[in-house]
Chains A and B, each alone.
Chain A
């Protein structure tokens, strides 16, 4: 009798053929939404408020950043000034650090100087390996 031949057509297995498609779909979603952690920069620790210390002028090297990007180098104790391009600072600072390892690089920036000039100088100071850095503004 034909009625006995009827079988249930529904399979009881999970279809595995489409598994890869599902996985790839999700994969593409996560690939496109992923942002890798990319925090990059020049780290610096600011002094705590009211934590001002007296420094002997001979340990200071002022790097005065002008609005046009040129830098005036002045050693703490002398009045002598030297105008340099910022790319020369690394070399100058390396020499000074070799002579006096307690040297503090004081980056003094003009209020109207663009941020990038100050970062350029900070970059040079970091490259020279200076550990003691002070950030100031002209006219404070």
Chain B
């Protein structure tokens, strides 16, 4: 068997360039992923110092079932970007709860709010029937795991 061309002409078949023809496909794939997962923020972000808790759980609830109730440092309460007086909560939440029985109220309270504020809110939520409540917290990693 004769060697063809003495091996000098052997070249690696792999191209040294990044294939750019599939770039668009990759980009579109990522694009579709982000388009599907994007939910635009409805509310303004409020300045809240979160409370940390180790038992923080992820709330698996559809976004439309969650009502945010913000309690700012000074005690001002907001629902859907509107400042609310303390005694209006029941009258605002009641129709929302009547529309959607799966409503979960997420209390996003500042860490320094005095407790009587929270108590008036929970009392009014009870009066409006929306009894599923979560106290929004941030996950806390308090203890370092012992090394083995």
Footprint of B on A, CB under 8 Å? 16, 19-20, 23-24, 26-27, 30-31, 33-49, 65, 109-120, 122-123, 126-127, 135, 137, 140
7 nearest CB pairs, A to B:
A23-B27, A30-B34, A111-B116, A126-B55, A41-B134, A123-B53, A116-B111
Do B110 and A115 touch (CB < 8 A)?
yes
Q: Which among A20, A26, A114, A119 has the greatest number of chain B C-beta atoms within 10 A?
A: A119
- Whole-angstrom distance between the Cβ of B72 and the nearest chain A Cβ: 12
* Contact residues in A for B136 (Cβ distance below 8 Å): 39-41
Cβ-closest chain B residue relative to A27: B31
A interface, by DSSP: helix, strand, loop or mixed? mixed
Interface residues of B, Cβ cutoff 8 Å to A: 20, 23-24, 27-28, 30-31, 34-35, 37-41, 51, 53-59, 61, 63, 66, 71, 104, 106-107, 109-119, 122, 125-127, 129, 131-140
B132 engages A43 (CB within 8 Å): yes
Measured between alpha carbons, how far is A38 from B134 in the docked complex, in Å? 13
* Residue contact B56 to A42, C-beta cutoff 8 Å: yes
Residues of the B chain whose Cβ atoms lie less than 8 Å from the Cβ of A38 = 58
Which residues of A have CB within 8 Å of B117? 115
Docked-complex contact A122 and B115, CB < 8 angstroms: no
Nearest CB in chain A to that of B31: its residue: A27
Determine the distance from Cα of A120 to Cα of B118 in the docked complex, in whole angstroms: 15
Other A-B pairs, 10, CB within 8 Å; known A41-B106, A113-B115? A23-B28, A23-B31, A34-B34, A40-B137, A41-B107, A42-B55, A45-B133, A48-B131, A115-B115, A119-B137
- 18 residue pairs from A and B, CB less than 8 Å apart: A23-B31, A30-B31, A30-B38, A35-B38, A35-B40, A38-B58, A42-B137, A45-B133, A46-B133, A48-B131, A49-B127, A110-B115, A111-B119, A112-B115, A115-B118, A117-B115, A127-B54, A135-B122
Q: Are B38 and A33 in contact (CB under 8 A)?
A: yes
Contact A43 B59 (CB under 8 A): yes
- B20 & A20 in contact (Cβ 8 Å cutoff): yes
B53 contacts A119, CB within 8 Å?
Answer: yes
In the complex, the answer to whether A43 meets B114 with C-beta atoms within 8 Å is no
Known: A109-B115, A115-B111, A137-B119. A42 touches B134 (CB 8 A): yes
Q: Which residues of A contact B104 (CB under 8 A)?
A: 43
